[in-house]
């Protein structure tokens, strides 16, 4: 399920040549395939068909409003972590009744905004947050539907920086305190406990951690029902892993085969907060080689994209597949570091990569950058952010234009008396 493929040595996105888009748009740019993006959503949706479920796309993975609109058309909900993401989700046309609000630092303003819009529920991460939601809801004369984010103390076997369900993590409420917290919630006049939430990590490459944690969660759901609480939703979080280089992640069907039997007896609607598996392999970052540079130790490709455009390598030592946009089978293979122009040693897109030799001016594609790519980008080193382009068949849409130098200083002001 990938619409990025080589035809006669030329990389295509759906029916367009990446090099043609580069000629028109300049480099660097993010390029997304509409078909890949939507078919990933549909594959997960179908895999969980046996049980009532809602896919709440994790907006933080790629928050472009055009992509949110495509998902809204499919009936997707949204998993948000801020007021800004709520704004985006609503602008994209996502039904507020299918929006869940996670994150451990919600402000009173964000809570009020979400209650006003009538979201499906808050995923509550602490006792104080529960009290604040109650207070805000009471003032507005509303009932706030909540799930408690439970920390099941499960090792998701992923990169430590993206594991979130371990005992020492800042996220959620420990499982052994959850019952007490639900009892408190039940007594609060403007809180209505309706679900249980977990999110154990990201880029999870086996279904075992989900099975282990969801057994605990299903037990908790039963205990809560015995206490007379109307628990209607079990939110399994996100984290379904994808292939970046040689990983072998379970398919949506394989994840579902492990998870569905645990949830099917619960009588609850499953919520899935999937980000990476929908967006990750639906995008590439296209960049141009500015210089070939050789030292005694290393061979570098200095490219026009940098860590401000794609943070994952610097942030998580993420390993992305990198390949020339025009691929000559006869080319000699070389080992290179692909680095950007930024004045930081951590500014690299790939290290010790074996790729066919490329020359100054050639284009490279950094694959699997549809998730946690553009949305993490910044203007560091006063670099205008790159455009996002969405391909659908033979059509290319600019869904975010390239920033200009003027854009860089739009929000700044020189005081009059300077
Ligand atoms: C980031 C996040 C997700 C999405 O994770 P993916 O690995 O992209 O699927 C889901 N839920 C919560 C609470 C998150 O923080």
10-residue averages of pLDDT along the chain (418 residues)? 88 98 98 98 98 98 98 98 98 98 97 98 97 98 98 82 75 92 97 97 96 96 94 98 97 98 95 98 98 95 98 95 89 94 95 95 98 98 98 98 98 97
Q: Ligand 1 pocket, 276 CB below 6 A?
A: yes
For 214, counting Cβ atoms within 10 Å of its Cβ (0-12 exposed, 13-18 middle, 19+ buried), the class is: buried
Per CATH, is 4-32+280-408 categorized as 2.40.37.10? yes
The ranges assigned to domains in the chain are: 4-32+280-408, 34-276
Asked whether 231 and 194 are in contact (CB, 8 A), the reply is: yes
Closest ligand 1 atom to Cα of 277: 9
Asked whether 314 and 346 are in contact (CB, 8 A), the reply is: yes
C-alpha 81 – ligand 1 centre gap (Å): 10
The CATH architecture to which 34-276 belongs is Alpha-Beta Barrel (3.20)
C-alpha dist (Å) from residue 104 to 88, 90, 109: 20, 21, 14
The reported pLDDT for the residue numbered 1 is 43
Supply the residues annotated as catalytic. Answer: 343
Report which protein residue has its CA nearest ligand 1's atom 3. 238
SS3 for 384?
A: coil
The reported pLDDT for the residue numbered 351 is 96
Q: Give the C-alpha separation, 373 to 377, whole Å.
A: 7
| DSSP at 240 | B
Report which protein residue has its CA nearest ligand 1's atom 10. 238
Q: Ligand 1 pocket, 239 CB below 6 A?
A: yes
| DSSP at 345 | T
The reported pLDDT for the residue numbered 168 is 76
Q: Ligand 1 pocket, 149 CB below 6 A?
A: no
Q: Ligand 1 pocket, 102 CB below 6 A?
A: yes
Residue 380, both tokens:
């560091």
| pTM (2 d.p.) | 0.96
């Amino acid at each position: 399920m990938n619409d990025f493929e080589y035809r006669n040595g030329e990389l295509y996105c759906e029916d367009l040549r990446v090099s043609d888009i580069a000629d028109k748009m300049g480099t660097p740019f993010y390029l997304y395939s509409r078909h890949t993006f939507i078919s990933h959503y549909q594959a997960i949706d179908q895999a969980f068909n046996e049980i009532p479920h809602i896919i709440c796309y994790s907006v933080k993975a790629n928050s472009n409003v055009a992509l949110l609109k495509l998902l809204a058309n499919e009936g997707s909900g949204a998993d948000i972590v801020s007021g800004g993401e709520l704004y985006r989700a609503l602008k994209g046309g996502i039904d507020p009744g299918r929006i869940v609000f996670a994150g451990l630092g919600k402000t009173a303003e964000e809570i009020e905004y979400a209650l006003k819009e009538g979201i499906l529920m808050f995923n509550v991460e602490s006792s104080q947050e529960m009290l604040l939601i109650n207070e805000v809801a009471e003032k507005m004369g509303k009932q706030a539907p909540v799930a408690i984010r439970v920390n099941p103390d499960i090792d998701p076997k992923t990169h430590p920086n993206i594991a979130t369900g371990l005992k020492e993590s800042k996220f959620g409420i420990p499982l052994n305190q959850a019952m007490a917290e639900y009892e408190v919630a039940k007594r609060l006049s403007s809180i209505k406990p309706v679900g249980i939430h977990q999110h154990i990590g990201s880029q999870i490459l086996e279904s075992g951690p989900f099975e282990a944690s969801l057994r605990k969660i299903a037990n908790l759901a039963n205990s809560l029902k015995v206490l007379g609480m109307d628990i209607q939703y079990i939110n399994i979080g996100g984290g379904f892993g994808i292939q970046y280089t040689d990983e072998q992640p379970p398919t949506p069907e394989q994840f579902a085969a492990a998870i569905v039997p645990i949830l099917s007896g619960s009588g609850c609607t499953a919520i899935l907060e999937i980000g990476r598996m929908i967006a990750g392999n639906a995008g590439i970052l296209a960049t141009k080689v500015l210089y070939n540079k050789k030292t005694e130790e290393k061979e570098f490709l200095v490219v026009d994209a940098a860590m401000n455009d794609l943070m994952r390598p610097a942030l998580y030592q993420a390993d992305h597949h990198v390949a020339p946009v025009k691929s000559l089978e006869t080319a000699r293979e070389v080992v290179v570091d692909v680095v950007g122009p930024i004045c930081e040693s951590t500014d690299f897109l790939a290290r010790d990569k074996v790729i066919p030799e490329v020359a100054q001016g050639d284009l490279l594609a950094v694959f699997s950058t549809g998730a946690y790519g553009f949305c993490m980008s910044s203007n560091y080193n006063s670099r205008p952010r790159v455009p996002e382009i969405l391909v659908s068949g033979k059509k290319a849409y600019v869904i975010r234009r390239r920033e200009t130098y003027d854009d860089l200083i739009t929000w700044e002001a020189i005081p009059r008396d300077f």
